[in-house]
A and B are shown apart, each in its own frame.
Chain A
Amino acid sequence: MSKPLKQIHLAAHFPGVNNTTVWSDPAAGSHIEFSSFAKFARTAERAKFDFLFLAEGLRLREQGGKIYDLDVVGRPDTFTILAALAAVTEHLGLTGTINSTFNEPYEVARQFASLDHLSDGRAAWNVVTSWDAFTGENFRRGGFLPQDERYSRAKEFLATTQELFDSWHGDEIVADRASGTFLSDAKAGAFVHQGQHFDIQGQFNVPRSPQGRPVIFQAGDSDEGREFAASSADAIFSRYSTLDQGQAFYTDVKSRLAKYGRRSDQLLILPAATFVLGDTDAEAEDLAKEVRRQQVSGATAIKHLEFVWNRDLSSYDPDGPLPDIDPDVSENHISKGRAQVRMYRDPLATASEWRERAEANGWSIRDLVIETGNRQAFIGSPSTVAKTINDFVQADASDGFILVPHITPTGLDPFADKVVPLLQEQGVFRTEYEGPTLRDHLGLTHPDDVREERVAS
C-alpha cells in the first residue's frame, strides 16, 4: 500500500513593511483601512485556508538616522485587527505576532484568552522576542534586556501565560440562578509564578477559552529558536525555499520533539512563500521579473546594499557597479529595526561574494539586489504551482505554506481561485473546514486532551 497523501496546510500573511509589498501598483489598496483586512480575510476563508497571519511592528525602521520611507510604512495593531476580523469570518484562524519582551504575561494572556473567546476558538500567537534598545525606547521596560536573555525571557513568558491559561479549568462558571452560585470555586484563576524574569501572583480574570490556550507559533532559525519551538510551539515558521534545505530543516526540527515527549505531528512546519501566477509558466516568469523590478527601485537597491555595507552609499549609481570599498563592520549599524540585517552575519564575505557574482554576470547594483533577494518561491501556471506545493509537502520539506502575496488586498485572489481548486481535486486540501477551531484545522490536540493523556500515562 502506498503512503497516504499528507494534507496540506495553507495560511495567508497580510504583507507588511518590506519591499516585497508592491505599493506602487495601481491595484494596491490601503494596508491600514479595515476594509483591506476584511477583503483579504474573506478571500482566505473562501479558499478554506487554515489561518490569516499578521506580523507586528513596534518602532518605525530607520536607516542612516532617518525613518525608512521607501516601503510600506506603518500598520495597525495586531490584536485589534484580529478581534475585528473575527466579526467578518467564521472559521479562519487568527494568528498574530506579539512580542514577549515589551509586554507582560498577565496582559498578553488576557488578550489572547479574550480573542479566543471572541472568535470561538480561532486565536493563535506567534511568540517573538526582541532585545534591542531601539525598539525599547517606546516602552516602560526600555532596552535593558541583554541579547542572551531573550530566549530565557521568552520561554518563561510563554510558560507563565500557559500557567495563567490553565488557572481556569473550564467548569468554574455555573451561573446557577436558583442557588445564587456564579462560580463553583472562589479560587478560580489562582496562580503563583516565581522565576528569573517574572514574580507574579493573584487570580487571572478570563475564564478558560474555547481552545484552552491559543495555538502557539514560533519563528526563529537559530539552534535556540529550533529548540524553543520543539519544546513549546504548535507550529514553526521557516524560511527555506528549496526542497533540500526545507527537508533538512524539517528533519532537524521534528527530530527534536521526542525528547519533549511530543509526536512529530504535534509541531507543524510552515515556511512563508511568495508566488506569482500566470496562465502559462512562461507568462508567470515574465510577470515575476516585472514584479521584482517593481519591488526593487534604484533607491531600494542602494538602501538594501547598505544593510550589508553599513555605510551611506547614496552617492552610488544603482545602475552602476558595486562599491569597491569594504563594509563597515562596527557594532553600531546604520539600519535600525530591520530583521533582514541579521541575515547577513558576515558582511565582508557577503560583500565579496556579491561583487564576484555581479562581475561574473555583468549585474548592476539593482540587478544584484533583484537577483539575490526576494525571489518568489512559486512561479508558474496554477497547475505548476499546485504541483510544486504538493511535491514539497509530500516530500516532507514542509507541512504547508504561509502565502505572502505582493499586493494587498487582492493579491490572494488568483491563488484562491485557481490553485486551491487543483489541490482540492488532488485530495490534498480540504473542501470544508474540519471543525470550528483553529486546532481542528491544524489537526492539533486540544490542550485538555494532552493534559488527560499525561495524567493517564
Chain B
Amino acid sequence: MSSTPVSPLHLAVALDGTGWHPASWREPVARPRDLFTAAYWADLVAEAERGLLDFVTFEDGLGLQSSHYAELDGRTDQVRGRLDAVLIAARIAPLTSHIGLVPTVVSTHTEPFHISKAIATLDYVSTGRAGLRVQLSARPHEADHFGRRTFPPISLESLRTEAGQERLAEHFDEAADYIEVVRRLWDSWEDDAEIRDVATGRFVDRDKLHYIDFEGRHFSVKGPSITPRPPQGQPIVSSLAHQTIPYRLVARATDVGYVTPHDTDDARAIVAEIRAEQQTAGRAGELLHIFGDLVVFLDDDEATAIARRERLDALAGEPYTSDARIFTGTPAQLADLLQELQGAGLTGFRLRPAVAGHDLPAITQKLVPELQRRGAFRQAYEADTLRGLLGLARPANRYAAAAATA
C-alpha cells in the first residue's frame, strides 16, 4: 500500500448510545447508566477531538430504538431512549474548540424554521463548527407521535416496488424542500445586515434582510430567519444514502453524503452515480464529500477483534448485521482498507464504533497515528471551522449576489 499516492482523507465518527453493536452496553467499558448525562457525551467528543477528527455525528430519532425499521420490537435487552441530538451538540460545543458537531435532524416531522435557527445557533455557540445530518422517517409509529399525518406500513420489500419507490421519492422530495428552506433561511440575512448606525437610529439595514418566500407541497415558509447568518454562512448539510433516490438528494443538496459500499467496486459505482447526479444538478464544480460508512471492531490483533465481535454477538443472541460494511481487525488493516476505498473515489469515512468506549479510543489512538505515519491524515487541526477542515469555502450569500446583479 505504501506506493499508493496519498492525499489526506477526512474522518468522522458516528456516535450512537454505547456503540453500534446492540450488546455494546454490556461491555465493562460501556457506561450505559451515563447515556443521559452531559458528561458521557462530553467525554466521547473530547476523545474524538484528541484524535483530530473532522467531526462527530449524533444519531437521533423521534421514536424508541428498535431492531426493526418500521415498528417497535418491545425488547428490553438493548439500549432504549435517547436525548435530543441538537441539544447534546449544543451542550458539548462550549467544551470543545475544533471538532465539528453534526446532530441528526428528522425532517419529516420537525419545522424547517425551528431547525434552521437551531443549527445557525449551534454554529454561533461552536464558533463555526456546526452541521446537520438530515434524516427522514417513514415510520408509521413515529408519525403517530405527531398525529398530523398517517403513513401506511412500510418494509424493505415494499420499498422495492414501483409504488414503494414513488413513496420514497415523495419523502425525499420533502427532505429536499426542507434543506432548501433551511439553506435559504441561513442566507436570509446578509453578513453585514447589522449596521448599528447611530446617526440614523437603524440597527439593521433591512434591505439586507430577505424573505425566502418558499412554497412547497408540505410547507411554505416566508422568512427571513430570526437568527442572523451563522458564522460559516452555511453550516454543513449531510445525509446518509443507500440507493438512487437518496443519492440524488446527496448530489443536489448536501455538502457531505454518507454511503455504504461493501467493496471497492461498489464504492466506485456509488461515487460515479453521485458524481453524475451532481453534474445533472449543476453542481459539477462544487466540492461534495462522499464519506464511506463502516462499522468498526478494532483491536491490536485480528483474532482479538473477531473474538470480541463473536462474544458480543453471543450476548445479543444473533450475529450483528448492518447497512454498512462491518470491519473487524487491526488499525493497520483498517488503514489499508480506507486507503483502498479512497482510491475508489471516497473522500472520507464516517466510522461507527461497535463499542464506543473501546473502538472510539482505538480510532483516535491507533488508527489515526497509523494514518498519520502514512501521511494520510492531519497532524494538527488546520482550521477553526468545520467548513475549513473539510476544505469547503465559505459560500457567498445567494441573496446578496442577486441584489448585487439586480
| With known contacts A87-B93, A107-B110, A180-B26, A117–B83 Cβ distance under 8 A | yes
Measured in the bound complex, the distance between the Cα atoms of B87 and A59 in whole Å is 22
Are B109 and A205 in contact, with the CB atoms below 8 A? no
Are B76 and A186 in contact, with the CB atoms below 8 A? yes
Stretch among B214-222, B256-264, B333-341, B398-406 lining the A interface: B214-222
Measured in the bound complex, the distance between the Cα atoms of B200 and A69 in whole Å is 10
Residue in B63, B78, B201 with the greatest tally of chain A CB atoms within 10 Å:
B201
Contacts of B33 in A (CB 8 A): 173, 175
Residue in A32, A72, A77, A119 with the greatest tally of chain B CB atoms within 10 Å:
A77
- Does residue B91 face the partner (Cβ distance < 8 Å to A)? yes
Contacts of B315 in A (CB 8 A): 180
Stretch among A196-204, A260-268, A408-416 lining the B interface: A196-204
| With known contacts A34-B125, A87-B94, A111–B64 Cβ distance under 8 A | no
| With known contacts A140-B218, A175-B33, A198-B147, A104–B127 Cβ distance under 8 A | no
Within 8 Å by CB of A106, from B79, B146, B219, lies B146
- Does residue A382 face the partner (Cβ distance < 8 Å to B)? no
Contacts of B219 in A (CB 8 A): 139-140
Within 8 Å by CB of A80, from B118, B202, B220, lies B118
Nearest chain A CB to B76's CB is how many angstroms away? 4
Are A79 and B94 in contact, with the CB atoms below 8 A? no
Mask: chain A, 292-317; 1 = CB below 8 Å from B; 0 = not: 00000111100000000000000000
Are B121 and A80 in contact, with the CB atoms below 8 A? yes
Measured in the bound complex, the distance between the Cα atoms of B142 and A104 in whole Å is 13
Contacts of A32 in B (CB 8 A): 124, 227-228
Where chain B touches its partner, the secondary structure class is: loop
* Cβ < 8 Å to B, chain A residues 41-91: 56-60, 66-67, 69-77, 79-81, 83-84, 86-88
- Does residue B224 face the partner (Cβ distance < 8 Å to A)? yes
- Does residue B86 face the partner (Cβ distance < 8 Å to A)? yes
* Cβ < 8 Å to B, chain A residues 170-211: 173, 175, 177, 180-186, 188-189, 198-203, 205-207
| With known contacts A184-B76, A299-B201, A205–B87 Cβ distance under 8 A | no
Measured in the bound complex, the distance between the Cα atoms of B148 and A198 in whole Å is 9
Are A69 and B63 in contact, with the CB atoms below 8 A? no
Contacts of B36 in A (CB 8 A): 117, 173, 206-207
Chain A interface (Cβ < 8 Å from any Cβ of B): 23-24, 32-34, 38, 56-60, 66-67, 69-77, 79-81, 83-84, 86-88, 102-104, 106-107, 110-111, 113-115, 117-120, 137-140, 142, 168, 173, 175, 177, 180-186, 188-189, 198-203, 205-207, 297-300
Chain B interface (Cβ < 8 Å from any Cβ of A): 23, 25-26, 28, 32-33, 36-38, 61-65, 72, 74-84, 86-88, 90-95, 109-111, 113-114, 117-118, 120-122, 124-125, 127, 141-142, 144-148, 189, 194, 196, 198, 200-206, 209, 218-228, 315
